[in-house]
């Protein structure tokens, strides 16, 4: 049993309950056993444990704010290996520059990039991350398994999306033909990924989603049949949509409709779907997303980096759309810090709608329970409530950068990035005192730098892989106990 005392607590529950000074108890089952104001009431630990609480680990949360762990709803982990490139391009130009480089990735590249990326996400307060992986070069190895092994190495809850592209440049798409798959092969590989990895249990550390890449890299057949596959198998759907004006023009020219109309024609709106970006939406599109319960992964820093525009977040929330936050791929958002996206989301909304457009608590809700709703996991994560999984971020707010901000939620959202004092995933420590517990940050950085250098080297002098990848655990294998983890 683990007990945090003395911390401010923002539960992000439906009532918005907060405690200026409170306690949080995590049971040995990795779930929240108690949360409330002040210290733990006398005898409560014994009562929760049925008489004998056994060994109790106590954490002094003085000067800290406890929140649900952040949920990252859109990412491309492999892109950590290509940060800093195409710095002044729009999305289409950026993709055109990077696709030839990405066509050379392999399992070693993906594992190193994903591990570094996920380690950095953990240090930024993230406990659950998605990934949208859609580039599968021939002879690249098992890239999906490589990123799953990275997530298990770092210890984050993971929802990888098996992406795909089957519309190459010769057929009118944007990606080079060398980076796309045959339609039937892509569908078969997607179903195989579900068979091998998807774990639907409430405590799941690993769930798979179906995720054709985008309207300009995927045929209508693949989009339609991917949706049918996902619903037949009971998994969620994810894709890019309405990110840029270029995409709007592409859909009008090739399909005679807007991106949201196109998605609806193909069966891609619904409560089991969340869309990345949703920047360029008219009133009718916002209304349709709200009416169908389709979620949106808002990526404010990436949208700004590529000059794509600013999503209508306030309008989406008012329409009842589930909105979560995403850092997006590290090649279009080099900072990759999910905690900073809370502030970026607030700023972006206020640039569109003024100072009342979004509050600090609205931003925190998007980064936690909003993201959980997008992933269909709001009954399990996203708020600090008894019975939910103990995915918790404890932020230190008593340093110089936050001194004098008396509202702890405002300090977290409006202030500089707060150090993570403790990050728990299912009650297991992943970060302590702003340091990774599950991997060596220096090793992750060196591996990422090596793969970056190898990927950008001329093909005839690229070094061979230098280490064997760990074998990821299949979904059917139980997660380790706390003793085994530590």
The separation between the first and the last C-alpha atoms of the chain, rounded to the nearest angstrom, is 14
Task: Look up residue 332 and give its two tokens.
Answer: 């279009």
Average pLDDT over residues 224-232: 98
pLDDT higher than threshold 80 for residue 208: yes
Query: Residues of CATH 3.20.20.140 domain(s) within the chain?
Result: 70-374
Q: What is the pLDDT of residues 393-444, one digit of tens each?
A: 999 999 999 999 999 999 999 999 999 999 999 999 999 999 999 999 999 9
* Segment among 67-71, 171-175, 448-452 with least mean pLDDT: 171-175
Q: What is the pLDDT of residues 304-359, one digit of tens each?
A: 999 999 999 999 999 999 999 999 999 999 999 999 999 999 999 999 999 999 99
Q: What is the pLDDT of residues 118-168, one digit of tens each?
A: 999 999 999 999 999 999 998 899 999 999 999 999 999 999 999 999 999
> What pLDDT, on the 0 to 100 scale, is given for residue 468?
52
> What pLDDT, on the 0 to 100 scale, is given for residue 479?
41
CA-CA distance, 204 to 43, in Å (whole number)? Answer: 32
> What pLDDT, on the 0 to 100 scale, is given for residue 477?
39
pLDDT higher than threshold 80 for residue 373: yes
CATH fold for domain 2-68+385-436:
Urease, subunit C; domain 1 (2.30.40)
Answering whether pTM is above 0.75, one says: yes
More confident site: 433 or 216:
433
Query: Residues of CATH 2.30.40.10 domain(s) within the chain?
Result: 2-68+385-436
Least Cα distance to 163 among 99, 220, 208 occurs for 208
* Segment among 84-88, 174-178, 197-201 with least mean pLDDT: 174-178
SS3 string, the chain, reads CEEEEEEEEECCCCCCCEEEEEEEEECCCCEEEEEEECCCCCCHHHHHCCCCCCCCEEEECCCEEEEECEEECCCCHHHHHHCCCCCCCCHHHHHHHHHHHHCCCCHHHHHHHHHHHHHHHHHCCEEEEEEEECCCCCCCCCHHHHHHHHHHHHCCEEEEEEEECCCCHHHCCCCCHHHCCCHHHHHHHHHHHHHHHCCCCCCCCECCEEEECCCCCCCHHHHHHHHHHHHHHCCCEEEEECCCHHHHHHHHHHHCCCHHHHHHHCCCCCCCEEEEECCCCCHHHHHHHHHHCCEEEECHHHHHHCCCCCCCHHHHHHCCCCEEECCCCCCCCCCCCHHHHHHHHHHHHHHHHCCCCCCHHHHHHHHHHHHHHHCCCCCCCCCCCCCCECCEEEEECCCHHHCCCCCHHHHHHHCCCCCEEEEEECCEEEEECCEECCCCHHHHHHHHHHHHHHHHCCHHHCCCCCCCCCCCCCCCCCCCCHHHHC
Average pLDDT over residues 65-77: 98
CA-CA distance, 375 to 389, in Å (whole number)? Answer: 15
Looking at domain 70-374, its CATH architecture is: Alpha-Beta Barrel (3.20)
Average pLDDT over residues 166-176: 90
> What pLDDT, on the 0 to 100 scale, is given for residue 132?
98
Average pLDDT over residues 161-181: 91
Residue 66's DSSP bridge partners are 9, 394
Average pLDDT over residues 366-386: 98
CA-CA distance, 275 to 260, in Å (whole number)? Answer: 10
């Amino acid at each position: 049993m683990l007990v945090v005392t003395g911390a401010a607590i923002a539960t992000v529950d439906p009532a918005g309950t907060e405690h200026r000074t409170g306690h949080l108890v995590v049971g040995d089952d990795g779930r929240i056993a108690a949360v409330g104001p002040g210290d733990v009431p006398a005898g409560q630990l014994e009562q929760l444990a049925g008489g004998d609480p056994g060994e109790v680990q106590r954490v002094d949360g003085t000067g800290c704010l406890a929140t649900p762990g952040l949920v990252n709803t859109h990412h491309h982990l492999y892109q950590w290996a290509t940060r800093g490139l195409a710095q002044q391009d729009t999305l289409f130009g950026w993709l055109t520059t990077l696709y030839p480089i990405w066509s050379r990735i392999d399992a070693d590249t993906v594992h190193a990039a994903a591990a570094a990326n996920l380690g950095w996400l953990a240090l930024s307060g993230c406990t659950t991350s998605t990934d949208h992986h859609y580039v599968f070069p021939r002879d690249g190895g098992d890239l999906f398994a490589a990123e799953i092994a990275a997530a298990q190495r770092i210890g984050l809850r993971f929802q990888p999306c098996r992406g795909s592209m089957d519309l190459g440049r010769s057929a009118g798409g944007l990606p080079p033909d060398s980076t796309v798959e045959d339609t039937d092969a892509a569908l078969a590989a997607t179903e195989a990924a579900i068979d091998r990895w998807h774990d639907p249990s409430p405590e799941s550390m690993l769930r798979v989603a179906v995720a054709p890449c985008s309207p300009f890299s995927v045929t209508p057949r693949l989009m339609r049949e991917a949706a049918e596959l996902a619903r037949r198998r009971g998994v969620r759907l994810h894709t890019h949509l309405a990110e840029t004006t270029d995409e709007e023009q592409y859909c009008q020219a090739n399909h005679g409709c807007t991106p949201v109309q196109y998605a609806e024609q193909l069966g891609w709106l619904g409560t089991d779907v969340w869309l990345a970006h949703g920047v360029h939406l008219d009133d009718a599109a916002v209304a349709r997303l709200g009416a169908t319960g389709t979620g949106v992964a808002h990526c404010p820093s990436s949208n700004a980096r590529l000059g794509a525009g600013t999503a209508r977040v306030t309008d989406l929330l008012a329409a009842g759309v589930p909105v979560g936050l995403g850092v997006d791929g590290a090649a279009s958002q080099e900072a990759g810090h999910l905690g900073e996206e809370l502030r970026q989301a607030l700023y972006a909304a206020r640039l569109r709608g003024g100072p009342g457009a979004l509050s600090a608590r609205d931003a925190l809700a998007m980064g936690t329970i909003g993201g959980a709703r997008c992933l269909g996991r709001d009954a399990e994560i996203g708020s600090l409530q008894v019975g939910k999984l103990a995915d918790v971020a404890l932020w230190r707010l008593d340093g110089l950068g936050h001194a004098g901000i008396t509202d702890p939620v405002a300090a977290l959202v409006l202030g500089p990035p707060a150090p993570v004092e403790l990050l728990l995933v299912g009650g297991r420590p992943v970060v302590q005192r702003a340091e990774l517990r599950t991997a060596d940050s220096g090793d992750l950085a060196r591996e990422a730098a090596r793969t970056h250098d190898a990927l950008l080297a001329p093909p005839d002098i690229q070094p061979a892989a230098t280490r064997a990848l760990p074998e990821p655990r299949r979904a059917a294998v139980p997660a380790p106990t706390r003793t085994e983890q530590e």
